Amino acid sequence: MVSMSRSVMHPAVAEVCVEGILDPRQGEAVKAWVVRKDGFQTTQEELQQFCGEKLTGYRVPRFFEFRKDLPKTMVGKVLRRTLQDEEKEKQEEMKRGEGSEHPHPCPSEEKMGVGGDSLVY
């Protein structure tokens, strides 16, 4: 797990969950699941630049996924395992040839509730 302090959060980000995911190129890579604040927009490049200025290199997320919300427990804790399991499932679909050509395919727009800008590199 990669921790990220609130002092490092971008002004357009309402919530974020950051975890390590399997990556065929590096073995493991950092991914951030991001919920934007209402009325705010941000791009993948903007978030990577912001993180690069605030964090040590190995902590800067390589992948971003914009979501409408994060899965949570009844008391409001983010279900990190659920996010990791979703990612593993996407990667397994990719291996079976059911997903897109990219090893970290974008979730459907319907699931995210936002436009098609779901991943950031």
pLDDT tens-place string over residues 6-41: 556 899 999 999 999 988 888 999 999 999 999 999
Checking if the pLDDT of 59 tops 70, the result is yes
Q: Give domain 6-120's CATH number out of 3.40.50.10190, 3.90.1150.10, 3.30.300.30, 3.40.50.720.
A: 3.30.300.30
Beta carbons within 10 angstroms of residue 75's beta carbon:
5
In degrees, rounded to 5, the angle at the alpha carbon of residue 85 between the alpha carbons of residues 82 and 90 is 130
Checking if the pLDDT of 55 tops 60, the result is yes
- 64-110: per-residue pLDDT in tens? 999 999 999 999 999 999 999 999 999 899 888 865 555 554 443 33
Q: Which helix (H) or strand (E) segment is 86 a member of?
A: helix 80-96
pLDDT for 97: 84
Sign of the C-alpha dihedral computed for residues 73, 76, 120 and 51 taken in this order: negative
**Mean pLDDT over the full length of the chain:** 80
Domain spans, the chain:
6-120
Sign of the C-alpha dihedral computed for residues 42, 98, 24 and 87 taken in this order: positive
